[in-house]
Amino acid sequence: MKGTVLYGPRDVRWEDVSEPRIEQPTDAILRLPATCICGSDLWPYRGLMPIPAPAPMGHEYCGYVEETGPEVRHIRPGQFVVGSFATSDNTCPHCRYGYHSSCVRREFMSRAQAPWLRVPLADGTLVPLPEAPPPEMIPSLLACSDVLGTGWFAADAAQVRPGGTVVVVGDGAVGLLGVLSARQMGAERIILMSRHEARQKLGREFGATDIVAARGDEGVAQVKELTHGVGADSVLECVGTQEAMMQAIRCARPGGHVSFVGVPHEVRLDGTELFFSHVHLHGGPAPVRRYLPMLMELVLEGRIQPGKVFDLELPLSAVAEGYRAMDERRAIKVLLRP
């Protein structure tokens, strides 16, 4: 089959790759009706992460189970499933505490920008639907796999509460779905920091009540003004840079909660500033598996439409154009179909 491989900065290719097959008795093979490109794929694409060898790409997926290994008990061929970008056995102590993305048997998925995919630890990683979903719901179910799960974790880790004031730093797909998540959790005021018109518009549709276009000190000052000098209860840092992290910490009130859900790139936190900021800080790779059943239910009930973050759809074979569109911020998030 063909799949997506990153060779170097801005050099992504659609080329022959080996077909996935059952390797471990706990594996499953999925056929993917759709897949997508993640904001985090842009880090190596832009040369901001080393690419020591050609890297198969893609970690967001949902699809039909085609085959399972002999030790898979709960997932069956024919089911439609959604899984997390991090595999989990769902039984180890970390999984039981809800931190599936720190599972002792965790592997980070790749190779999902392709028509077929091998998923390790199928029983612990995949969540099946009772029946195949209507095709129009597939983008929103696909979003559960990472981008919505991560936005939801951002809101949860920032302790968004009914009536609370929330700031979202970052208007990528994760940030926008952080807005949607905060709205679902009952936040009263949701301030999206964004300077991009299309993203502001979708942010408002998802529930943002205020937009702050300024960044850095000026952005912080505007948030402080909007919160009567107090600062926000919850701040979701959905970028992963030093500037975004400091902006997030400085937007929170003393005792407020700051989450960070994008892999930080060369971020260093000064202990003294963190100390006197008095914020709570929590982040990491989103434990999507914890939230999957609930998020899939919200999608199936039609209560949320996270698939709206996909504003460009391409055939899988045009994956390189998809990367370009996201790199140049022409697209928020790209859906790929076989």
Q: Give the interface with a copy of itself as residue ranges (CB under 8 A).
A: 93-94, 97-99, 101-102, 228, 230, 240, 242, 245, 253-255, 260, 263-272, 274-285
Considering only CA atoms, which of 78, 83, 40, 44 is closest in space to residue 60?
A: 83
Nearer to a copy of itself, 260 or 323 (CB): 260
Nearer to a copy of itself, 7 or 97 (CB): 97
Four-point Cα dihedral 203, 208, 209, 210, nearest 10: -60
Q: How far is the CB of 325 from a copy of itself (least distance, A)?
A: 27
Query: Count of alpha carbons within 13 Å of 216, Cβ hemisphere only?
Result: 0
Burial class (CB in 10 A: 0-12, 13-18, 19+), 322: buried
Q: How far is the CB of 296 from a copy of itself (least distance, A)?
A: 23
Nearer to a copy of itself, 192 or 249 (CB): 249
Q: How far is the CB of 258 from a copy of itself (least distance, A)?
A: 10
Considering only CA atoms, which of 123, 31, 23, 107 is closest in space to residue 72?
A: 123
The Cα 37–Cα 238 span in angstroms is 16
Cα 240 to Cα 247, 248, 266, distances in angstroms: 11, 11, 9
Query: Count of alpha carbons within 13 Å of 152, Cβ hemisphere only?
Result: 21
CB 36 within 8 A of CB 332: no
Q: How far is the CB of 243 from a copy of itself (least distance, A)?
A: 12
Nearer to a copy of itself, 269 or 318 (CB): 269
Nearer to a copy of itself, 266 or 301 (CB): 266
Q: How far is the CB of 146 from a copy of itself (least distance, A)?
A: 15
Nearer to a copy of itself, 228 or 303 (CB): 228
DSSP classification of residue 168:
E
Instruction: List, in sequence order, every residue forming a beta bridge with 337; answer none if it has no partner.
Output: 315
Q: How far is the CB of 172 from a copy of itself (least distance, A)?
A: 17
